[in-house]
Chains A and B, each alone.
Chain A
Amino acid sequence: MFKNEVDRRKFMQALGIGAAAAGMGVSIPQVVAQSKDGNPIVEDKSQYGKFLVEKLINGDYPYQIDPKILGQPGSASPDRKVFEPFEVPEETKEFFRPASVLDRERLVEKGGKVPNFTRLDYAFKDASWWCHNEARGVFPWYTENGGTQELGERSRPNWRNLPPWDPQDIEMSWHDASLAMKRAACFYGASQAGVAELNHLWIYAQNSEPIEEPHQRPADQQETEIDPRRYFPNAASGPQTRSRQRYIPRDLNRVIVMLFEEDYHAIANSYGRLASAAVGIAYSRMAFTASTLARFINHLGWRAIASGNGEGLSVPMAIDAGLGQLGRNGILITPKYGPRVRIAKVFTDMPLVADSPIDFGVDQFCQVCMLCADHCPSLSITKGGKTWDGLCPRNNPGVYKWYVQTDSCNAFNDFSCSNCKKVCPFNKPNNFWLHRLIRRTILARSRSLDKVMVSLDQMSGYGRDLQAADFWKLNPCQTITGREPV
């Protein structure tokens, strides 16, 4: 006959064995599965913040392009101020006034006492940009004598007259060398780094080496006129003068892309001045780190050009380097930091081994989430589906994505808003096991599950404003980064 009573000792033993088995179960190796396409699905707490990430090793990319529309390599729209009229939302109309008017009103007329726009916040913001603004010269691109093409020639054997470095000299492979470059990037100040083969489609038109012209141009090349209407048929302005024509040589076929995390708490102050400070300090770090890494590569005898936002489109290069995916808000979504990053890059001819692009379910999640579109004060983010056509002249048609009205985004509050980052569910500090647990469900690509996650995110109060007054009361050690446990 079955004895229904349980011996307490045996029960406790069974409990202990069960707990040990559960502990072994959660210790999962790095490659956890294979996708239908044969790509490995990996997880890595330090690099991917516990997301399950599919590595696209078959030469696939997590985006679609139409070469007929996108054009030839080097046809990407340049980063130029050409504005089209756009509709200004009534609720946030006051924020579309010129920066000088806004600043005067907040700092002078209201005595620097407007919450989130106090004199303290303004000074904090302006100081954070200082290194970037003062040190534009550290990007060799901008130096008076250092046009890109001649920089390439001058920098190669210059350092101690040594030939280009070969990692095999010290029994390293090029794979190890790539790892060393990423290590150096993080050592100099990047939060994360990746390597991609440089796709010249992403180089701005005025920075792309013309195919028909000889590689070496005279350094003191005459001034060149560029007509924005060449790129934007509807542009109102006429020809613009560029001081010099500079371009990325085609044999610079690798790009090291670096991410710079922005402070979690400061971004939560968007669109107050503290969010601008988080952006500014990331730019300053970009200037220092990219130029230092380029110098390091130069000293190894290889050519390198440091670049911030210029020269080419950073987001697709970062996607190619396996650092993230494009979100609905038009910016890079990374596994570890979400959208809370700035991007810098170094172009080089060092034959580094490229990383694989990744897919961790951003596309599917952004289709159902909509939080960034709901909270965009300039109505720049679409709630519709992906398209091949841009919404304004500064978009590059020919990529199947959610286009962003960059003109209105740019004009809002002196181009100083991070609402789309603040409310993005991917924007969570990497310090909480529950976030990491939920991240593992994203790759399941279930629309209903994603909707539940978004609802829970909102119910839990994430994405709310952090007032500047509260920011200043935070533990100082907590304000540097939100990525690690306090």
Chain B
Amino acid sequence: MAEFLIGLGIMAGLWVVVGVARNKQLRVPLWGWFLTVIGFGYATFVVMTILAFYREEQYQAILTMGALMAFPGLVLGVFLYRFAFTQAPKSRSETLKQ
């Protein structure tokens, strides 16, 4: 059940990211989407690992391994937010209309 909920949550998160990108008309390059999918896959891996450690009652492992594994995910998230999910530059016609 927990695995199902985690999978559902991750898929919902991905859906939200795609929706936001469309609504805000962000121009996301293909490599950005590729890295986003990898990032969500990695997030799944991290959450599942933490869940497994919890079930094994290895609470120290949750802290140390969780911190270790979350760091690359955090770096990837910041990188994508800064360089991939950026506002598209306004076209010339839009600028003229204003």
Using CB atoms and an 8 Å cutoff, list the residues of chain A in contact with chain B.
4-6, 8, 11, 15, 18, 429, 431-434, 456, 459-462, 486
Contacts and interface: CB of A to CB of B under 8 A. Distances in A.
B87 interface: no
Contact of B53 (A18, A429, A460, A486): A460
Interface residues of B, number: 21
Interface string B44-85: 000011001101101111001100100000000000000000
B5 interface: no
Interface string B1-39: 000000000000000001000100001111001000100
Interface of B: 18, 22, 27-30, 33, 37, 48-49, 52-53, 55-56, 58-61, 64-65, 68
Given A11-B18, A15-B37, A433-B52, A462 B29 contact: no
Give 6 nearest A-B pairs by CB, closest first: A461-B60, A460-B61, A459-B64, A432-B52, A8-B18, A6-B33
Given A461-B59, A462-B58, 9 more contacts: A4-B30, A8-B22, A11-B33, A429-B56, A434-B49, A434-B52, A460-B60, A460-B64, A486-B55
B95 to A, nearest CB: 20
B58 A460 contact: yes
A431 to B, nearest CB: 7
B65 to A, nearest CB: 6
A150 B97 CA distance: 108
Contacts of A8: 18, 22
A4 B18 contact: no
Nearest to A457: B61
B29 A461 contact: no
Given A4-B30, A5-B27, A15-B37, A431 B64 contact: no
A429 B52 CA distance: 12
Contact of B30 (A6, A15, A460, A486): A6
Contacts of A456: 65
